[in-house]
Structure 1
Amino acid sequence: MYNDAAKSALIEAGRWVSDKGWVPATGGNFSIKTDTGFVVTASGHDKGYLAPEHFLELNQQGAICKGQGKPSAETALHLKLYQLQPSTECVLHTHSVAATVLSRFIKGDTLAIHGYEMQKSLRGISSHESTLTIAIFDNDQDIARLAEHVAKRHEQEPVIHGVLIRGHGLYAMGNSVAETRRHIEGLEFLFACELERIKLESSL
């Protein structure tokens, strides 16, 4: 994808994600792989009001080639996800209430979900009887170290749909912008269902 087309796609995705309430304040960061590297949102911008000047163009090694502003420190995690799954074309990082709270409630390093028809919205899952697993990582301000933790986990269990960062949010990924958006919407529905299930069970 060309850089200008990538920026347009992310502007549209930003409006959609913002309308859902999944990127409050200036939270989140988005990227798309391009012919020369990838395009990523600069830090500090409301994702519902993105403009072409709010993006940075990076090469395949993550060095800035064009654009104004400061890259988010989390850009390194985007780069790592592209390296781990070469078919990935888009990474969207969001801060929904459901993803943030659920990632703190689950004490282990995996969120396991099964029994929901909506699981089939995710690539490779064809039945509600399958178990969807999403890796959870402790939040870390050292993004390079966090990226290495993700890489090590990927060696044991490939990262396909995304990862949760505890108390932080979701990094969703896909083989296109459309697939990444579908993965976010499907996962957010599942996260919300799990939170409701936990609340109901605790009240019994």
Structure 2
Amino acid sequence: MSDTQQLDQLVAACHWIGAKGWAPATGGNMSVRQDEHFCLLSESGKDKGGLTRDDFIQVEIASNLAPSGRKPSAETALHTLIYRLFPEAGAVLHTHTVNATVLSRVEEGAALLLYGYEMQKSLTGQHTHEDTVAIPVFDNSQDIAALASEIEDYAARFPLRYGFLLRGHGLTCWGENVNEARRHLEGLEFLFECERQRRLLESK
């Protein structure tokens, strides 16, 4: 698939995310891999529901630098980390949803454990509701380089699949291409909403 086609798919995904209210107040950032050296990352400070091709900046995966001189998002290092850790990753989506933000704060463990939900099968490689899907939860930090290093250390010791949560911040997820990343995002959001509702009901 050409760069133009991939970028068009990502723009469409951003509009879909914006329409759902999953990246409010210009929050969030999305990217697609160009090749082993570069990715295209959404420009900071823009409404994700109205992005065009021109709102994506080419970024070098190894250095986080933009050859054009334009300033990429402060969270660029999280995107490039995923592309370095997972050569098969072709797209990364970072959203700020209510479900992900709230669950990441109330979950006291190192991971949000999801089990018993049929929609777990929306995640690549998951074939039954009887499995447990662990979504790691990291403390939020404004020091993105340190945060990326922490996530990299985690990935060297434990499986890191589909995505991770930042406490009080949101979800970062990925896939082999835009369509798979979008499916993972939608599937995880459904699972987060179910888990949030389950905990509310059980607390009454």
Question: Which TM-score tier does this pair reach, normalised by the shorter chain?
Answer: over 0.9
1: CA distance, partners of 2:24 / 2:61: 29
Contact 2:61 2:84 (8 Å CA) reproduced: no
Q: Please name the residue that 1:65 is paired with.
A: 67
Q: How does 1:28-177 map to 2 (within 5 A)?
A: 28-35=28-35, 36-61=37-62, 62-66=64-68, 68=70, 70-177=71-178
Q: Give the TM-score, by structure 2 length.
A: 0.95
Aligned to 1:18: 18
Q: In 1, are the aligned partners of 2:6 and 2:178 still within 8 Å (CA)? A: no
Native 8 Å contact 2:31 2:93 kept in 1: yes
State the superposition RMSD in angstroms.
Answer: 1.3
Secondary structure of the 2:22 match is coil
Aligned-residue sequence identity (percent) comes to 49
One-letter amino acid of the counterpart of residue 91, structure 1: V
Moved more, 43-52 or 152-161: 152-161
In structure 2, what is the Cα distance between the partners aligned to 1:67 and 1:24?
A: 27
AA at the equivalent of 1:154: A
| 1:163–1:171 Cα contact (<8 Å) kept | yes
- 3-state DSSP of counterpart to 2:25: coil
Distance apart, 1:67 and its partner CA: 6.9
Secondary structure in structure 2 of the residue aligned to 1:45: coil
Runs of 4+ with deviation above 4 angstroms: none
The CA distance in 1 between the partners of 2:67 and 2:10, in whole Å, is 18
TM normalised by structure 1 equals 0.95
Q: Is the 8 A contact 1:161 1:174 kept in 2?
A: yes
Per the TM alignment, residue 58 of structure 1 is displaced from its structure 2 partner at its CA by 1.6
Gaps of 5+ in 1: none
Instruction: Give per-residue Cα distances to partners, 1:149-203, cap 9 Å, x unaligned.
Output: 1011111222110100000000011111111000000000000000100000011
